[in-house]
């Protein structure tokens, strides 16, 4: 079975429908889709095979927690297709390439795992260097809205080579106006956003040699004993994110480890005795 066949395969579309309906079964769009479920899935399969499938317009709205964001919600049929694509092709191809400390939107990871890793890093640092360390804390300014389509397509092609899958992936990437930005709300956007900074993750861990590094989507930290080396890392990170159309938030800063780290909604401290609170 080719990668594209995995997307339009009826059984995979049915599994995708079951995932898409979780928590939404009695909402209007989901209920309408379910009334003629078999017909709707067969039609989706046929449209994908014939490449006549097209994305429906997004439903755009604002959310204000934890900060103001524009969310672009896709139609129910498009959610089904994205589940089939992401669960059977894109996810299995890109997820194994991510570093352990890329925490967001992955089974077995998430916020609790990210916080546990931060606490583990602090304890390991203390055993070697005590509390006399430094933190480079940063995030990417307007991350989802700044992702360049051309860079993303090039990255995707390192993992997916089926031309028909690439037709569908390119359609999704180009579904917003202009050549920059991906919609918050798409399942594919979560994977795209994880992938877009994955080369930076590997660069920081493997080339810069920073062991104590973690990232949750656009939010990241580095812990190191040498403040000057973190300044060098900052310049290298800034250069690399600029090359792919991104910029660091003005809040990016270097400060003493003993001040603690704000990450994933918590302020985590390393005390003078080595306790993490």
pLDDT for residue 179: 97
Q: Which of 5, 84, 11, 78 is nearest to 42 (CA)?
A: 11
Q: In order of start, what are the domains of the chain with their CATH numbers?
A: 3-97 (no CATH), 111-144+190-268 (3.30.70.270)
Band of pLDDT at residue 134, cut at 50, 70 and 90: very high
User: Kind of pairing, strands 69-73 and 59-63?
Assistant: antiparallel
E strands in the chain: 59-63, 69-73, 134-139, 212-216, 219-224, 253-256, 261-263, 266-268
CA angle 184, 187, 192 (to 5 degrees): 75
> Measured between alpha carbons, how far is 106 from 207 in angstroms, rounded to an integer?
25
**Tens digit of each residue's pLDDT (9 = 90 or more) over 30-77:** 778 888 899 999 999 999 999 999 999 988 888 887 778 888 889 899
**Tens digit of each residue's pLDDT (9 = 90 or more) over 211-256:** 999 999 999 999 999 999 999 999 999 999 999 999 999 999 999 9
Would you tell me the crossing angle of helices 76-85 and 187-196 to the nearest 10 degrees?
A: 40
pTM over 0.85: yes
Q: Which of 140, 94, 126, 147 is nearest to 225 (CA)?
A: 126
Task: Give the residue-averaged pLDDT of 193-219.
Answer: 99
Say yes or no to pLDDT of 27 above 70.
no
CB atoms within 10 A of CB 270: 26
Band of pLDDT at residue 264, cut at 50, 70 and 90: very high
């Amino acid at each position: 079975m080719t990668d594209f066949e995995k997307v339009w395969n009826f059984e995979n579309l049915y599994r995708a429908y079951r995932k898409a309906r979780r928590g939404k079964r009695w909402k209007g769009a989901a209920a309408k889709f379910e009334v003629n479920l078999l017909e709707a899935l067969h039609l989706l399969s046929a449209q994908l095979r014939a490449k006549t499938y097209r994305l429906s317009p997004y439903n755009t709205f604002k959310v204000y927690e934890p900060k103001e964001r524009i969310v672009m919600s896709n139609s129910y049929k498009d959610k089904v297709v994205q589940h089939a694509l992401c669960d059977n092709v894109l996810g299995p191809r890109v997820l194994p390439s991510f570093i352990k400390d890329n925490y967001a939107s992955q089974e077995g990871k998430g916020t609790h795992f990210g916080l546990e890793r931060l606490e583990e890093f602090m304890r390991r640092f203390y055993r070697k260097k005590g509390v006399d360390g430094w933190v480079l804390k940063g995030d990417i300014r307007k991350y989802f809205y700044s992702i360049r389509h051309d860079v993303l397509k090039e990255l995707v092609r390192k993992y997916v080579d089926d031309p028909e899958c690439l037709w569908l992936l390119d359609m999704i990437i180009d579904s917003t106006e202009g050549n920059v930005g991906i919609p918050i709300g798409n399942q594919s956007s979560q994977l795209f956003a994880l992938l877009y900074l994955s080369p930076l993750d590997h660069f920081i861990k493997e080339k810069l040699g920073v062991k104590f590094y973690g990232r949750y989507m656009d939010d990241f930290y580095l812990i190191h004993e040498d403040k000057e080396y973190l300044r060098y890392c900052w310049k290298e990170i800034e250069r690399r994110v600029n090359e792919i159309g991104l910029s660091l938030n003005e809040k990016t800063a270097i400060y003493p480890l003993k001040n603690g780290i704000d990450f994933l909604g918590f302020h985590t401290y390393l005390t003078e005795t080595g306790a993490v609170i």
